[in-house]
Amino acid sequence: MKPRQNLALFARLSAASDGAPRLLGTRRIGRYLLLALLLVAAQAPASCPEPSTADLAAIKGTDAAPALPEGQAVVTEGVVTGAFLGRDRLNGFYLQQATEQGPVGLFVYMPGATERDAERLVPGKHVQLHARTGEYRGQIQLQRVERVEICARDQLPEPEALAWPLDEEALSRLEGRLVAFSEPLTVTGNYELGRYGSLRLANERLFRPTNAPDHDQERAVLMLDDGSYRAFPSPIPYLNDDGTRRVGSRVAGLTGVLTHAFDAWRLHPTETPRFLDANPRPAPLDEPGERLRVAAFNVENYFTTLGQRGAANAEELERQRAKLAAAVAGLSADILALVEVQNTPGALADLVEQLSLRTGVTYRAVGGRADRGSDAIKLALLYRPDRVEAISELHADNDPVHHRPPLAAFFQPREGGEAFGVVTAHFKAKSGCPARGDIDQGQGCWNERRVAQAKAMAAFLERLATEGSERLLLVGDLNAYGAEEPIRTLTDTGLVDLIARELPPERRYTYVFHGESGYLDHALASPALAAAVAAVHPWPINADEPPFLGYDGPESAAELIRPDPFRSSDHDPVVVDLSPEGR
């Protein structure tokens, strides 16, 4: 009850029982006056000190009226729904109010908040503000707060229960409000976790549209933020006991304030999200036994010349060596097809030496005078001489369409069996797009070049089949997803896409880019060899892991970077096992 209502009650009490006004005695007037004053006093703590000049709907604007002009002084009130005070957070808090237009939420920018302010501005607190209207990055807000008055400690409004996804109209209506998602969501990207403390969420793991044919998905993304826009948060949020948060994890209990910033819809949680490690780290692969194992591995710029494309300093190089050795040990491969080794003899020799020393397994690089090209990085073929014999030197395809000449060699199992050839390639990347010409037309830029490289590769394989053996296995980073033209160009010649043949669509990935998964790393077999393939699969040690765990991770993650195989590269290795019967 408001004070003016109490006075009206006093007036009614002053009326005669027959409805006619009459004068009251002094004692009776005193009693009624005391009652009215007591009513006023009892209600005062629940009321704000003075009338508001505008509600949050008027400040923010509605369909019928625009937002108030920037810089206008207002007195308004509401309930604090999310407090993110301080320079390391959002430097403000969210206010929500029930208006005639429905619930409205608004951010209050308050960089000068004191410790006393932080004690008072907690979720559930009913406050009145003397502030000015403002705008930041297209979002209406309150700022230049001159005074904060406590009106009452009210209950938090019930979070609006939501199901993801929502259309833009619904999202715009809910912006700034307290919401809750009834169903768990999936982490589909973690690239920005170490840099900005945020995760990409969707109903399910998202795949590149061109990764597999007829694999349609709802593509809406919600960013799970951390109540801050600072760079390189320390500690990094949302990690599990292993110090990671993998793509494929599930998250429930999502309650917080919905907002739009940096071109994305974001949730700043007001309750701690509950994570389920639905995609745990994999164990090392089983030993191949009688099978012969070939693995393709993009080693993410192994450079012994520091400060170029790979390690920036000796510490990073040591991290890289340790992680690559742990990955190779877990692969238990007999033949390694490597991508992104520095194009110098010393770098490859160093890598072979380091892998042999750190794994306890002797590796050799296939030699020869094959032209490795002039690009900063090259390919390499390594093998275990105790398990397999290299029966040829390197062959190279020096068609000028290639940036890095594909390499091939023929091998013979030590335990007997037919010879076969392993070919490795690294097609033109989708980055460094030109302004015109071979631009992105749905499959990334330089797709025309990759198609031309695939055609040259088909001719190279035909020559190898004529000169050596028809039993050929092509592995490597082709920088094209499974349903894109370069891969179709190769499969149209009769090559078998082993990943597509052996794995369901949800397991066909070796790389994650902008929260979308897919396989850029391939294993394609000639018909003569395809029947001998006993198993093929990526080993998901890298693409699902956050980038800050890599050898070149930021200082804020230094204590989390370990000499294990996880995030030893940005690509997952791909393994192909050949059966003893068919090899």
Count Cβ atoms within 10 A of the Cβ of residue 182 and give its class: 0-12 exposed, 13-18 middle, 19 or more buried: exposed
Q: For residue 523, what are the β-bridge partners?
A: 475
Looking at the predicted structure, is the pLDDT value of residue 33 above 60?
no
Sorted by sequence, the CB contacts under 8 Å of residue 150 that are 6+ apart come out as 120, 125, 126, 127, 128
Instruction: State yes or no: pLDDT of 36 exceeds 90.
Output: no
Res. 415 pLDDT band, cuts 50 70 90: confident
Count Cβ atoms within 10 A of the Cβ of residue 166 and give its class: 0-12 exposed, 13-18 middle, 19 or more buried.
middle
**What single-letter amino acid sits at 375?**
D
What six digits make up the tokens of 498?
A: 């082993």
Give the confidence band of 581 by pLDDT, cuts at 50, 70, 90: low
The rounded Cα 510 to chain-centroid distance in angstroms is: 15
Residue 35 has pLDDT above 90, yes or no: no
Would you state the pLDDT for residue 12?
A: 37
Task: Dig out the tokens for 221 from the structure.
Answer: 């993304």
Average pLDDT over residues 92-106: 95
Beta bridge mates, 15: 21
- Closest C-alpha among 569, 40, 30 to residue 324: 569
Mean pLDDT of 447-467: 97
Residue 527, H or E segment: helix 527-530
Backbone angles phi, psi at 330, to 5 degrees: -70, -25
pLDDT in tens, 196-224: 999 999 999 999 999 998 878 889 999 99
Average pLDDT over residues 416-427: 95
- pLDDT over 70, % of the chain: 92
Give dist(CA 133, CA 129) in Å, integer. 11
Q: In DSSP terms, which residues pair with 511 in a beta bridge?
A: 518
Most confident of 9-13, 518-522, 579-583: 518-522
Instruction: List pLDDT tens digits, range 313-371.
Output: 999 999 999 999 999 999 999 999 999 999 999 999 999 999 999 999 999 999 999 99
Q: How far apart are CA 346 and CA 113, in angstroms?
A: 58
Residue 32 has pLDDT above 50, yes or no: no
Provide the 10 A C-beta neighbour count for residue 488.
Answer: 15
Average pLDDT over residues 449-464: 98
Contacts 24+ apart (CB under 8 A), 413-416: 413/292, 413/387, 413/388, 413/389, 413/580, 413/583, 414/386, 414/387, 414/388, 414/389, 415/290, 415/580
3-state secondary structure (DSSP) of residue 98: strand
Look at 57-71, 223-237, 433-447, 501-515 and tell me which has the smallest mean pLDDT.
57-71
Query: From CA 350, how far away is CA 272, in angstroms rounded?
Result: 47
User: 275 pLDDT band (50/70/90 cuts)?
Assistant: very high
Q: Using 50, 70 and 90 to split pLDDT, how confident is the model at 62? A: confident
- CB 575 within 8 Å of CB 537: yes
DSSP 15-80: B-TTS-B-PPPHHHHHHHHHHHHHHHHHHGGGS-SS--S--HHHHH--SSSPPPPTT-EEEEEEEE
96 to 49, 71, 156: CA distances (angstroms): 18, 20, 9
- The pLDDT assigned to 26 comes to 43
CA separation for the pair 155, 173 (Å, rounded): 22
Mean pLDDT of the region 459-478:
97
The predicted pLDDT at position 43 comes to 36
Residue 389 has pLDDT above 80, yes or no: yes
Q: Mean pLDDT over residues 256-282, rounded?
A: 97
Record the pTM.
0.89
What tokens appear for 198 in the block? 């945020």
Secondary structure string (H, E, C) spanning 308-355: CCCCCCHHHHHHHHHHHHHHHHHHCCCEEEEEEEECCHHHHHHHHHHH
Amino acid identity of residue 378, one-letter, is K
The DSSP bridge partners found for residue 267 are: 224, 258
Overall average pLDDT of the 563-576 stretch: 98
List the structure tokens of 479: 């920088």
Find out whether 285 and 573 touch, Cβ atoms under 8 Å: no
Name the residue among 119, 128, 129, 125 with its Cα closest to residue 153: 125
Where residue 123 falls among pLDDT bands split at 50, 70, 90?
very high
pLDDT at 29 over 50: no
* Greatest Cα-to-Cα distance within the chain, rounded to the nearest angstrom: 123
**Cα distances (Å, whole numbers) of residue 202 to 217, 276, 435:** 10, 15, 32
Angle 127-131-132 from CA coordinates, rounded to 5°? 145
pLDDT exceeds 50 at position 525: yes
Average pLDDT, the chain: 91
The DSSP call for residue 579 is: -
Is pLDDT above 90 for 138?
A: no
Burial of 163 (0-12, 13-18, 19+ CB in 10 A): exposed
Candidates 510, 527, 487, 486; CA nearest to 571 is: 510
- For residue 64, what pLDDT band results from cuts at 50, 70 and 90? confident
**Nearest Cα residue to 108 out of 119, 97, 116:** 97
The residue type of 298 is N
**What pLDDT does residue 582 have?**
55
The residue with greater pLDDT, 1 or 239, is 239
Q: Are 384 and 415 in contact (CB under 8 A)?
A: no
4-15 average pLDDT score: 37
Report residue 287's pLDDT band, with 50, 70 and 90 as the boundaries.
very high
